[in-house]
C-alpha cells in the first residue's frame, strides 16, 4: 500500500447520511436514460458542472453495462454531481461498455486520446483489464478501479464482496430453516466480484443441510438468462421441490420470480429468494413478499469516494488517508483501497435502511399495487 498522504486543501466534512440523501431525487425521477448504446466517441457526457468548461481537468468514468439499473440511475449521476461540487472546472466524460470488453477497451483509448487526467474504471472483465491499466499508465494517467478489482490499479474502491455473499447465504439458510433444496444463480464469470459473492455464499450454504440442485453462472447477469435457467430447471423439478433460490443480484431475482410465477406458483407461495443492489423493483417485491431480501450497498458513499479521489488526482492534491465520510485507506492485494460495508435489507428494516438514507422514499416504493403491502408493513 502506498503511504497515506495528507490533503493539502481542506473540505467540509460530509457524513454518510448526507451523502446518501443525494440519491433520493435520482431514485424518484428514475435517472436511467442509457448512453451505453452510443459509440465510444459519442458517449461523452456533458460537464459535471455547468461552469466546467474549457480549461478544467477531464475525468473519465467507464462503467461496464446498463442491464443492472444501478449504474445509469445512481453511480453515474452521483459521481458527476460530486465531481461538480468538488471541482467547478472539472468535466466528466462518461462511457458505458454494454458488457462488451472490446468496446470498453476502445472507450478507454478514446478517453486517453481526449486528454483524461484520471480514469475511473469499472471493468467488464476485471481479470482481463490489465492491458487497459498498462495503456493508461503509459500515458501517465492514474486509474481508480471502481467496484471491481483490477490488479495494478492505483486505487480500488468497493464493498466487502465476500461478506455480501455470506449475508445472502445466511439469509437464505435462515429463511429455509437450514435445510432443503435450492437453485443457485451466480454472476458473470468475467466479473471478479461474482466469484467473491459465490465464495461467500457457498461458505454458508455448504455448512448447512441445504443441497444445491443446480447452479448457474450467468454470463451477463441478465434477468432474461436467469428466467430461462429457472424455466429449464422446471422441466426437471416440480416447483415444490425448489425450496429456495440463491440469486446473486436483484435483476436475476426478478427473472426467478417471473419464471416461477409463469409456471403457476402463486406469488404468496414463492420460496425464499435472495438478491443484491436494492433495486426499486426488488424492494417492492420484498414488501410484497415475493423476494425475501436484498443486499443494500450504499452507492452514494462509493460514488462520492471515487469522485473525491479522482478530483484529488486530477488536480494534483494529495489523497487523504481518510475520506470525507470517514473511510480509511486499506490494502487489498497490493492496491490502496477504500472498502465499504454492505447491509442486509428485509421487509422489517426497509424504513431504517434505504428509506432512512434517502436512497428511496416511501412514495417511490409504495406505488400502485404495492400501496396495500406498504401499509401492512408499516411503511408510509
Q: Is 162 exposed, middle or buried (0-12, 13-18, 19+ CB in 10 A)?
A: middle
Secondary structure (3-state) at 121: strand
User: Can you give the pLDDT at residue 324?
Assistant: 86
pLDDT at 258: 98
Q: Kindly indicate the confidence band of residue 69, based on its pLDDT and cuts at 50, 70 and 90.
A: confident
pLDDT value, residue 12:
33
The pLDDT score that the predictor gives to residue 29 is 33
The full DSSP string for 123-185 is -SSGGG-HHHHHHHHHTT--EEEESS--TT-SEEEEE-HHHHHHHHHHHHHHHTTTEEEEEEE
| Mean pLDDT of the 323-348 span | 94
Beta-sheet strand order (sheet of 58-63): 91-96, 58-63, 118-121, 143-146, 155-159, 335-340, 330-332
Residues 6+ apart with CB under 8 A from 25: none
Q: What are the backbone angles phi and psi of residue 182, rounded to the nearest 5°?
A: -135, 160
What is the CB neighbour count within 10 angstroms for residue 198? 23
Q: How far apart are the C-alpha atoms of 96 and 107, rounded to whole Å? A: 8
Close Cβ partners of 181 (under 8 Å, ≥ 6 residues apart): 210, 211, 212, 213, 241, 242, 243, 244
Phi and psi angles of residue 127, each rounded to the nearest 5 degrees, phi first: -70, -25
Length of the chain: 380
Rg (CA), the chain: 21
Q: What are the chain's domains?
A: 16-159+297-341 (3.40.50.2300), 161-296+344-377 (3.40.50.2300)
| CA–CA dist 124, 302 (Å, integer) | 18
Answer for the pair 143, 133: CB distance below 8 angstroms, yes or no: yes
Work out the angle between the directed axes of helices 250-262 and 280-288 (0-180°, nearest 10). Answer: 50
Residue 3 clears pLDDT 90, i.e. is over it: no
**Crossing angle (nearest 10°) for helices 192-205 and 161-175:** 40
pLDDT exceeds cutoff 50 at 25: no
Instruction: Output the average pLDDT for the chain.
Output: 87
The answer on pLDDT for 41 being more than 60 is no
Q: Identify the residue whose cell numbers are 478507454.
A: 108
- Residue 36: band (very low, low, confident or very high) from pLDDT cuts 50, 70, 90: very low
CB 189 within 8 A of CB 158: no
| pTM, to two decimals | 0.76
The whole-number pLDDT of residue 380 equals 86
Determine contact, residues 80/306, Cβ cutoff 8 Å.
Answer: no
In this predicted structure, the answer to whether residue 82 has a pLDDT above a threshold of 50 is yes
- Please give the share of the chain, as a percent, with pLDDT higher than 70: 86
Given a cut of 60, whether residue 47 has pLDDT beyond it is no
Q: Are 160 and 339 in contact (CB under 8 A)?
A: yes
Give Cα 50 to chain centroid, integer Å. 27
Q: What is the pLDDT of residues 173-229, one digit of tens each?
A: 999 999 999 999 999 998 989 999 999 999 999 999 999 999 999 999 999 999 999
Q: What is the pLDDT of residue 33?
A: 36
Q: Compute the distance between CA of residue 278 and CA of residue 345 in angstroms, rounded to an integer.
A: 8
Q: What average pLDDT does the segment 154-183 reach? A: 97
> Over 80: is that where the pLDDT of 170 sits?
yes
Stretch 323-329: mean pLDDT: 90
Q: What is the pLDDT of residues 119-132, one digit of tens each?
A: 999 999 988 999 99
Of the candidates 204, 343, 323, the one whose C-alpha atom is nearest the C-alpha of residue 277 is 343
Say what the pLDDT of residue 261 is: 98
Segment among 62-71, 85-94, 162-171, 233-242 with least mean pLDDT: 62-71
Amino acid at each position: 500500500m502506498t503511504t497515506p498522504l495528507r490533503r493539502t486543501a481542506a473540505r467540509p466534512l460530509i457524513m454518510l447520511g448526507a451523502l446518501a440523501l443525494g440519491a433520493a431525487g435520482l431514485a424518484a425521477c428514475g435517472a436511467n436514460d442509457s448512453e451505453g448504446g452510443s459509440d465510444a466517441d459519442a458517449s461523452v457526457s456533458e460537464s459535471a458542472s455547468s461552469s466546467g468548461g474549457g480549461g478544467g481537468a477531464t475525468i473519465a468514468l467507464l462503467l461496464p453495462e446498463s442491464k443492472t439499473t444501478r449504474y445509469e440511475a445512481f453511480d453515474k449521476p452521483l459521481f458527476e454531481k460530486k465531481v461538480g461540487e468538488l471541482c467547478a472546472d472539472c468535466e466528466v466524460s462518461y462511457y458505458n461498455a454494454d458488457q462488451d470488453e472490446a468496446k470498453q477497451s476502445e472507450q478507454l483509448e478514446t478517453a486517453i486520446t481526449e486528454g483524461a487526467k484520471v480514469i475511473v474504471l469499472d471493468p467488464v472483465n476485471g481479470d482481463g483489464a490489465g492491458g487497459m491499466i498498462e495503456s493508461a499508465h503509459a500515458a501517465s494517467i492514474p486509474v481508480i478501479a471502481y467496484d471491481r478489482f483490477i490488479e495494478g490499479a492505483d486505487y480500488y474502491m468497493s464493498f466487502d464482496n465476500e461478506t455480501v455473499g455470506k449475508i445472502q447465504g445466511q439469509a437464505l439458510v435462515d429463511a429455509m430453516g437450514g435445510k432443503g433444496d435450492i437453485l443457485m444463480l451466480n454472476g458473470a464469470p468475467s466479473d471478479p466480484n461474482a466469484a467473491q459473492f459465490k465464495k461467500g455464499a457457498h461458505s454458508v450454504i455448504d455448512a448447512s443441510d441445504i443441497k444445491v440442485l443446480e447452479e448457474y453462472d450467468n454470463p451477463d447477469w441478465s434477468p432474461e438468462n436467469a428466467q430461462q435457467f429457472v424455466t429449464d430447471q422446471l422441466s426437471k423439478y416440480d416447483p415444490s421441490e425448489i425450496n429456495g433460490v440463491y440469486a446473486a443480484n436483484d435483476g436475476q431475482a426478478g427473472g426467478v420470480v417471473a419464471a416461477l410465477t409463469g409456471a403457476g406458483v402463486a406469488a404468496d407461495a414463492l420460496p425464499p429468494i435472495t438478491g443484491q443492489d436494492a433495486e426499486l423493483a426488488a424492494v417492492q417485491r420484498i414488501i410484497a413478499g415475493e423476494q425475501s431480501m436484498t443486499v443494500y450497498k450504499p452507492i452514494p458513499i462509493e460514488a462520492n469516494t471515487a469522485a473525491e479521489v479522482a478530483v484529488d488526482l486530477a488536480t494534483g492534491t494529495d489523497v487523504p488517508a481518510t475520506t470525507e465520510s470517514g473511510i480509511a485507506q486499506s490494502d487489498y492485494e497490493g492496491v490502496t483501497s477504500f472498502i465499504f460495508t454492505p447491509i442486509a435489507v428485509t421487509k422489517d428494516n426497509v424504513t431504517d435502511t434505504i428509506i432512512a438514507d434517502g436512497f428511496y422514499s416511501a412514495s417511490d416504493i409504495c406505488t400502485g399495487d404495492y400501496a396495500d403491502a406498504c401499509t401492512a408493513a408499516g411503511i408510509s
